[in-house]
Amino acid sequence: MNLMDEAPDAGLLALFESPDDLVHAIEKVKKQRYRKVEAYTPFPIHEVIHALGIKRSKIPWGTLFMCLLGGTLGFGMQAWMNGISWPINVAGKPFISAPAFVPITFELTVLIGGISTVVLLFLMCGLPNRHKAVLDHRLTDDLFGLYVEKSDPRFNEGELQGIFRDCHVKEIKNFGD
C-alpha cells in the first residue's frame, strides 16, 4: 500500500525554527504579492493564519443548520412515532407530550450537529488525504514551514531565498524542477 507518496506541486519550502520567523517570512512574501502560499505548523498559530489572510471558517454555519435540523427531526420522530403512528397512553399524558420529548430532542440536536461538524471538517480539509505527501517529517514535530508554489505568477526563486534568509531560515528545500 502506498499512501501519501505523491510528489508535491513544484515549489520552495522554507523551514524555520521559530513561529515568529515564519510569521515574518509570510508577511514579507505576502508584501511581494505572492498568492500560492501555504504554511505548515505542528500546532495551530493564530498569527500565521492571520498573516496568510485566511478567512474565518464557515463550518459553524453548517453546524447551526445541522443542529436545528437534528432537533427538528428528533422532536418530529418522537411525536410521529408515539403520537401518530402508534399512539401510546402513558399515565394519561398527552400523546404528543412536549416536556417528555425534550431530553431526546436535545440529544439528537447535539448528536447530528456534532457528527456533521466533523464530516464538514473532513470535507473542508480534504481528509482522508491518501496521496499528498508530507513535505518534511519535522513539520509535525518542531519546525515551521512556508511553501510557495512555482506556479505562482510572481514566483522568483532568488527573491524568495533572500526573504527566507532574512528571516533566519534553517533550511530551504526545492521541490520539482
Note the residues at the interface with other proteins (CB under 8 A).
1, 3-4, 17-20, 38-45, 48-49, 52, 54, 56-57, 59-60, 63, 67, 77-78, 81-82, 85-86, 88, 90-91, 93, 97, 100-101, 103-104, 106-108, 110-111, 113-115, 117-118, 120-122, 124-125, 127-132, 134-135, 137-142
Pinpoint the alpha helices (H) of 32-168. Answer: 46-51, 59-79, 98-125, 157-166
For other proteins, the closer CB: 85 or 158: 85
* Residue 100 C-beta: closest distance to other proteins, Å: 4
Q: Residue 93 carries which DSSP code?
A: -
What is the C-alpha separation between 164 and 100, in angstroms, rounded?
Answer: 63
Angle, vertex CA 157, rays to CA 153 and CA 161, nearest 5: 135
The nearest distance, CB 144 to other proteins, in angstroms, is 9
Q: How far is the CB of 67 from other proteins (least distance, A)?
A: 8
For residues 29 and 146, is the Cβ–Cβ distance under 8 A? yes
